[in-house]
Amino acid sequence: GAVVSQHPSRVICKSGTSVKIECRSLDFQATTMFWYRQFPKQSLMLMATSNEGSKATYEQGVEKDKFLINHASLTLSTLTVTSAHPEDSSFYICSARPGTGGRSGHEQYFGPGTRLTVT
């Protein structure tokens, strides 16, 4: 089946530094990738949608200059949290939508998530 990986799975960084999270679709091409943020005991909140080769579309309230998204290829999207602060500590999850196929064409395949802790 379709597999999406994320790297790293966990990262601890100091306040003020930047952190890059990678999202890869391993066995399919993803024309669209999504980045979500999840706080403890809460639901997934969509941060942005990225299409390969174009600028990401950010949800209302998400700072595009703070959360830089690059969808450089059909199998890789990166999220960079710039000048991270403790309030950015969260679980970041990506998902990828196949260009074709999938069970229904609507489906997104989710990565395992990245736990970011900013100290």
Give me the residues that bind other proteins (CB under 8 A), please. 4, 6, 34, 42-46, 49, 91, 93, 95, 103-104, 106-113, 115
Q: To the nearest whole angstrom, how small is the minimum distance from the Cβ of residue 84 to other proteins? A: 20
Q: To the nearest whole angstrom, how small is the minimum distance from the Cβ of residue 3 to other proteins? A: 11
Q: Is 105 exposed, middle or buried (0-12, 13-18, 19+ CB in 10 A)?
A: exposed
- Residues in the chain, total: 119
Pick the closer one to other proteins by CB: 14 or 60.
60
Pick the closer one to other proteins by CB: 19 or 47.
47
Q: To the nearest whole angstrom, how small is the minimum distance from the Cβ of residue 57 to other proteins? A: 9
Q: Give the dihedral sign, CA 96/99/102/105.
A: positive
Please state, in angstroms and rounded to a whole number, the distance separating the CA atoms of residues 55 and 82.
Answer: 17
